[in-house]
Amino acid sequence: MADNTQPENKFKKAFKGRDADKIIYLYKRFMHEPVANKAHILGQQSATSGTNTRAIQSTATKRGTAKGVGAINQQRTVDVIFDDPNNNGKDLYWDLYAAWEKGELIGLWRVDLNTLHGTKPNRKAQAQFSQSYVPNLPNTEALGGIVTSNLQFEVNGVERAINSDENAFELDESDLDDGVLDDLDKYYNWAHPSDIGTENGDVVDNTADDETITVQDTTTGEDVMGPGASKSANTSNPASSSTGSSTGTGSSTGSGTGSPVSSNTKPTA
């Protein structure tokens, strides 16, 4: 029986490193938000990093130095980029500011999308969880730039990453705000002209997720629904792409008067 407890150390010909851009941080002000609230993206994120240290105490003896391992100390650093507030609604900056001012612990998840597996809407990814403080909230306001904060979260106690069997914990897609995993791949949805505009002075956005928009399969030329769909959107005449693009569900999402974008209790990036 093969021993699969040993780590793989060989560099293979098709070596691929763990993509740092697929490490994403999410948070929840669990001392303030209702239990039903899910995890929110911690803004648009630039570079991130973390430290895992233990103090070593050395005691000299006549024949050598005896060393003891001290307590664990951990920090998580995220360079957060703040979006323009949406209609002056509750946003990420003021959410973090309140947590900092009140000295609250917040729930912090380091999610590794390199490990993303499963199919929508039941995807999972490895995630490390900690209860952390926001000891400092610096504002970087460069000329012609975007306001950012290089936040160093201080982990209270020890982060939970693996269980007693040394297996990694996971977050379910249902644990996250709706559309989080898809939003990480795009800045905004594709739009029909009638999906976006203004109404009564407010910006209207009636765009739909990619899964519900009719697209043309670039291999077969057929109209299909959503990424990876194998079923034709127009089963009666799959070759007629012109009717699919004009009467498919993609255009139907743009109909209606729409409603203005409004703020809610969920902080924006």
Query: What is the pLDDT at residue 251?
Result: 41
- The Cα–Cα gap between 189 and 31 comes to 33
- The residues pairing with 60 across neighbouring beta strands, listed in sequence order, are 65
**pTM here?**
0.71
According to DSSP H, which parts of the chain are helical?
Answer: 92-102, 180-183, 241-247, 249-252
Where are any strands of DSSP class E within the chain? 23-28, 40-41, 44-60, 65-81, 105-117, 124-133, 148-155, 170-172, 196-199, 202-205, 214-216, 223-225
What is the three-class DSSP state of 94?
Answer: helix
Question: Can you read off the two tokens belonging to residue 127?
Answer: 């995630």
**Cβ 235 vs Cβ 204: under 8 Å:** no
Mean pLDDT of 201-223: 83
Compare 3 and 219 and report the one with higher pLDDT: 219
pLDDT band at 216 (very low <50, low <70, confident <90, very high): confident
Query: What is the pLDDT at residue 4?
Result: 66
Report for 83-87, 107-111, 187-191, 192-196: range of highest mean pLDDT: 107-111
Compare 16 and 26 and report the one with higher pLDDT: 26
Question: Can you read off the two tokens belonging to residue 225?
Answer: 């629904």
Mean pLDDT of 24-34: 94
Report for 69-78, 139-148, 173-182, 196-205: range of highest mean pLDDT: 69-78
**Which candidate, 74, 39, 56, 79, places its Cα nearest to that of 160?**
74
Compare 13 and 23 and report the one with higher pLDDT: 23
The total number of residues shown for the chain amounts to 269
Compare 179 and 19 and report the one with higher pLDDT: 19
pLDDT tens digits for range 72-121: 999 999 999 988 776 555 688 899 999 999 999 999 999 999 999 998 88
- The Cα–Cα gap between 198 and 202 comes to 5
> What contacts 24+ positions apart, CB below 8 Å, involve 134-138?
134/96, 134/99, 134/100, 134/104, 134/106, 135/100, 136/100, 137/96, 137/97, 137/100
**Which candidate, 41, 43, 46, 44, places its Cα nearest to that of 27?**
41
Mean pLDDT of 147-172: 95
State what percent of residues in the chain have pLDDT above 70: 76
- The Cα–Cα gap between 104 and 96 comes to 10
